Amino acid sequence: MSLAASRGRPESSGRPTLYKQIRLDIERRILTGEWPPGHRIPFEHEIMARYRCSRMTVNKALSELAQADLIERRRRAGTFVRRPQYLSAVLKTPDIRAEITTLGRAYGYELISRARRSANAGDRERLGVKGARKVIAITCRHNADGVPFALEDRLIDLEAVPGAASADFAADPPGSWLLHHVPWTEAEHAISAIVADKPTAGALDIATGAACLVIERHTWRKARPITAVRLIYPGESHRLVARFKGS
């Protein structure tokens, strides 16, 4: 008997494998909101009829989506789109505004400085690049309910993001702007702790010598550095929380 790859498929396009196609189709519908959280996905039975494939193939696609926590499967009841992904979104989200508003607190933003300059040695090292180029350097502060929440010190590589030159970051924080304008493919975070020096303490309204949590995030798009940011949080009042499932 012929393989599915040689048969017609409802929404064919390139041609990954069949199960991957099914997986992507469903994924797309979930991510675009066409199938909102709680929505019941068609039964395996219906999907296999739709794609004219065996149940194992459908099952493989759905199992992967379940492992990725996009859907939830319940015997006898069916398969459902999962509620929002709680958790380590803190680390995955490059957007502090979203982080604060999901906590139900009022977001505030203050631009402290913004400069356009040729990258110096320190800038190049932070971005992990070698050649000469222009960068934008920004420092700003994020507040939650009027209280300092985090200090941000960011570099943007203008060679990778030319559009940033014409953006003033007076109203929107650079993280949000970048998120909307430049999709990233890879990000690396380093978390460490420091004690606040006098200027940092002043900006965060904490005592000099208090502990701070530092998150340094580097973001790339296809191996090309986009931005490097250093976020300083008051250490004892802020906690990064992440939840994992084991097996």
Partner DNA sequence: GGCGAGATTATGTATAGACATATGGCCCCG
Partner DNA sequence: CGGGGCCATATGTCTATACATAATCTCGCC
* Binding residues for a second copy (CB under 8 A): 20, 23-24, 27, 64, 67-68, 86-87, 91-92, 183-195, 209-213, 233, 235-236, 238-247
CB of 130 to a second copy, least distance (A): 21
Q: Which of a second copy, DNA, none has residue 202 at its interface (CB below 5 to 8 Å by kind)? A: none
C-beta of 69: minimal distance to DNA in Å?
13
Least distance between a second copy and beta carbon 108 (Å): 23
For the chain, report the end-to-end CA distance as a whole number of angstroms: 37
> What is the separation of C-alpha 242 from the centre of its chain, rounded to a whole number of angstroms?
14
Instruction: State the nearest-atom distance from the C-beta of 95 to a second copy, in Å.
Output: 13
247 makes contact, choosing from a second copy, DNA, none, with CB < 5 to 8 Å by partner type, with a second copy
Asked whether the beta carbons of 174 and 168 are under 8 A apart, the reply is no
- Smaller CB distance to a second copy: residue 90 or 167? 90
Tell me how far apart the alpha carbons of residues 101 and 107 are, in angstroms, rounded to a whole number: 6
Question: Using CB under 7 A as the criterion, which residues of the chain lie in contact with DNA when the complex forms?
Answer: 1, 3-5, 17-20, 41, 43-45, 52-57, 59-60, 62-63, 66, 73-79
Nearer to DNA among residue 16 and residue 209 (C-beta): 16
Rounded to the nearest 10 degrees, how much is the dihedral formed by the CA atoms of 218, 106, 85, 35?
-110
**Binding site partner of 184, from a second copy, DNA, none, Cβ cut-off 5-8 A by kind:** a second copy
Q: Residue by residue, what is the 3-state secondary structure of 64-112? A: HHHHCCCEEEECCCEEEECCCCCCCHHHHCCCHHHHHHHCCCCEEEEEE
Structure tokens at 100: 């604060």
186 makes contact, choosing from DNA, a second copy, none, with CB < 5 to 8 Å by partner type, with a second copy
Helix (H) or strand (E) holding 140: strand 134-144
